[in-house]
Amino acid sequence: MNRLLKILICSAILVWIPQSVFAFAVSPASIDIYGARNEVIERTVTVVNTSVAEQTYYLATLKFVAGKSSGSPEFIPYETDHSGLPEWISFPVNTVTIPARTKVDVPFKVSIPSGIESGSYFAAVTISTTPSEVVATNGASIEAKTAVLLFVTVSGETIEKLALLDFVTPDDQIQTLHDVSYAFRLQNQGNVVVKPTATITVKDIFNRTVLVKNVNTEEGRVLPGSTRTFSGELETVPDGFLETVFKQFKLFAVGPVKATLSVQYGVNEQTAEISYWMFPWQLLICMAVDVMILILIWKGIVKLKRRLATIRTGG
């Protein structure tokens, strides 16, 4: 029994140790750099050792491409392809040892070569707890690794061009709330990374603005040659009948409404529209009940007045 207990304790410790020893954080999540050919640009990333022990971290670079629709980066193994921006990045040292509960700013340089085309290039600065060659030897990602996305735009003949491909209409055309799902696709037809601002404005049949929502709060980028889908809901679904009624009253609209999407980047703007119908039956029922109660109260008051008048006249 004692032996079994020791085994269980040791197993728990082994499971817990990697989580505590290899715990770390990196900031910022992404870095935008603008430069010219033959320019050397210096930047830093901050590595925080959140564990209770000193830890050595290994620095490297990876190439990535845009995901098919989500825009999330798809990393390319270094041995498969590391041409382009990963080769422009250099570190003073490839490892850094950080004491427990301490943060360190790690410098790196981006040396933009001559003779390259203008436009955006992207890669990731990776920070890990295991050397890359060890990972390659084991054939699996056994390390704790995180990445800082790096976007470098080389000045010159740059083309900033987005195409708004579509703005999807909700499946259900009759809504009780503005919890309408939306989706739109943006295609980057230029040669630079574009970080657009996008808002949806909803107006009722009287052209009154009901709500305005920023639909790219995370500042998502669209990489050259890629198409990215942005989606979400205009409003969250409230809990309970009363909260639904309060939200319907706050964002009141009945009948046809029009939602206009505006995508802006630089001095450019593109718009698209969808429409749906609002029928807030919960609020309408409450309003009908309130009207009925007011009518009954009014009738009661009139009836009481008549009685008092009859008493006064001695009838």
pLDDT at 15: 36
Beta-bridged to residue 188, according to DSSP, are 162
Rounded CA Rg of the chain: 30
Residue 93: Cβ-neighbour burial (10 angstroms; 0-12, 13-18, 19+): exposed
* Calpha distance 57→125 (Å, rounded): 12
Contact between 198 and 261 (Cβ < 8 Å): yes
Angle between helices 241-250 and 281-312 (to 10 degrees): 90
Give the residue from 176, 177, 200, 185 showing the smallest Cα distance to 258: 200
Residue 267 has pLDDT above 50, yes or no: yes
DSSP assignment letter at 29 = S
**0.85 exceeded by pTM:** no
Give the model confidence (pLDDT) of 190-221 as tens digits: 999 999 999 999 998 899 999 999 998 888 89
pLDDT digits (tens, 9 = 90+) for 143-165: 446 889 999 999 999 999 999 99
Residue 179 has which token pair?
A: 């919890």
**What band does 171 get if pLDDT is binned at 50, 70 and 90?**
low
| Average confidence score pLDDT of the chain | 82
pLDDT given at position 233: 86
Average pLDDT over residues 111-128: 93
- Structural tokens at position 130: 């295991």
CA angle (136 as vertex; 131, 137 as ends), nearest 5? 100
Higher pLDDT, 135 or 274: 274
247: nearest Cα among 235, 257, 232, 258:
235
Start-to-end C-alpha separation, the chain: 99
Task: Confirm if 158 and 119 have CB atoms less than 8 A apart.
Answer: yes
What does the longest C-alpha to C-alpha distance in the chain come to? 110
At residue 172, the pLDDT reads 63
Q: Express as a percent the part of the chain with pLDDT over 90.
A: 47
- Residue 170 banded pLDDT, cuts 50, 70, 90: low
Distance (Å, whole) CA 152 – CA 110: 9
Give 16-75 pLDDT, tens digit per residue: 333 334 478 999 999 999 999 999 999 999 999 998 999 999 999 999 888 777 777 888
Of the listed ranges 21-25, 33-37, 265-269, 294-298, the least confidently predicted one is: 21-25
Domains and CATH numbers, the chain: 2-154 (2.60.40.10), 162-282 (2.60.40.10)
Residue 305 has pLDDT above 90, yes or no: no
Q: Which of 11-25, 100-114, 134-148, 250-264 has the lowest mean pLDDT?
A: 11-25
CA–CA dist 213, 220 (Å, integer): 16
219: DSSP letter: -
